[in-house]
Amino acid sequence: MKLFLIAGEASGDRLGAALMAGLKALLPKVEFLGVGGPLMQAEGMESLFPMEELSVMGLAEIVPKYPALRRRLIETADAVVAAAPEALITIDSPDFCLRVARRVRAVRPAQKTIHYVAPSVWAWRPGRAAKMAEVIDHVLALLPFEPPYMEAAGMTCDFVGHPVVSEPRATAAEAQAFRAARGIGDAPLALALPGSRRGEIGRLGTVFGDSLAVLAKARPGLRIVLPTFPHLAETVGAMVAGWPGDTLVTVDPAEKRAAFAAADVALAASGTVSLELAANAVPMVIAYDFNWLTWQIMKRKALIDTVTLVNLVAESRTVPEFLGPECRAPGIAAALERLLAEGPERAAERAAMALTMERLGLGGEAPGMRAARSVIAALETRA
């Protein structure tokens, strides 16, 4: 069986590699073509070109690279047509991937197409599902409530589990060793997670620092850990220079896992990091600020009353959010202080996090294998 896969970002590369591993276990003679990063290449794909060429975000970044991106789009679509695979599997990155699928379908109308990661039509722009259905047959969803949205638009869809449930987590012993090695001991430990993009960090750094400073006054001895990526270490290091106490910035993945296991509370930007925190049962407060225009648009277009995935998956509103004009230090600090206490708010969050992990597939078959089974079933149904 010949399959053509396309991933455009590191997260898609991880999903693609797990899917490929599952497919190889179930289909020993499967052949992979396409575009992918180092993890997908390690599973046996020779990437058509470096995946990093597609990892472009934001209008200002895309405009100067548009001619090169369009060339890659045409090159990729032409490669799919020439390969005539049993399926074209696109992984997230809809701006690029769905354009490739549309171009392929124009030449090969019967081409089987599968998209991994359902668009968040439940949050905003619901019309995206119908547009996607014009070129996609089957969807692999990460969240349990997504299939009905895809099916209503005319696609088949399986919930295959979220990758967070299969990511490695530190043990209690590793958490204690981290506390000992960093001189934290039994002091209260807060994680600061202001995002993974420079723009987010620049926008949230001050309010995060101010919030934690207020918390540190109420909780003397508070220690703060900020895990980040190597290319952001200098920016983050300068940002935390004025933060309370001896804020630890770490770029080591093992230390990040240990810090998540050891933390008592977290202040985080909105995003999938809430699921990482839930996997480690770390009570959290979500804070995010926007420029004025973005906030006005979001208020009018949003279809949901919470941005936190734990709240959505658990069908609760236990994780406190401070968004837009409410993203201010006094309220954030007060919410963090309440969560540091062993009271009803902390217990409610932990119950919601446990339910979230259960609903995302924790303890069941790995998402990559579930995705592989869904792909095979979709192809058999088509046949």
Tens of pLDDT, residue by residue over 324-355, are 989 999 999 999 999 999 999 999 999 999 99
Summarize pLDDT for 197-218 with one digit per residue, the tens: 787 888 899 999 999 999 999 9
Mean pLDDT value of segment 156-182: 96
For residue 33, what pLDDT band results from cuts at 50, 70 and 90?
Answer: very high
Q: What is the 3-state secondary structure (H, E, C) of 171-210?
A: CHHHHHHHHHHCCCCCCCEEEEECCCCHHHHHHHHHHHHH
Report the alpha-carbon distance of residue 266 to residue 85 in Å, rounded.
Answer: 45
Close Cβ partners of 157 (under 8 Å, ≥ 6 residues apart): 118, 138, 139, 140, 141, 146, 147, 150, 151
Over 70: is that where the pLDDT of 383 sits?
A: no
The CATH number for 2-161+364-382, chosen from 2.60.40.10, 2.102.10.10, 3.40.50.970, 3.40.50.2000, is 3.40.50.2000
**The pLDDT of residue 224 is above 90:** yes
Class at the top of the CATH hierarchy for domain 172-359: alpha beta
CATH 3.40.50.2000 domain residues, the chain: 2-161+364-382, 172-359
Q: Residue 89: how many CA atoms within 13 Å on its side-chain side?
A: 30
Per-residue CA distances from 4 to 76, 78, 263, 376 (Å): 10, 12, 42, 14
Q: Which of 67-76, 348-357, 366-375 has the lowest mean pLDDT?
A: 67-76
Higher pLDDT, residue 147 or 58:
147
Q: What percent of the chain has pLDDT over 90?
A: 80
Q: What's the CA gap between 259 and 238, in Å, rounded? A: 21
Average pLDDT of 110-139?
Answer: 94
Structure tokens at 90: 């696109």
pLDDT value of position 59: 42
pLDDT digits (tens, 9 = 90+) for 232-254: 899 899 999 889 877 999 999 99
- The per-residue pLDDT of the chain, averaged, comes to 92
Token code pair at residue 319: 């994780």
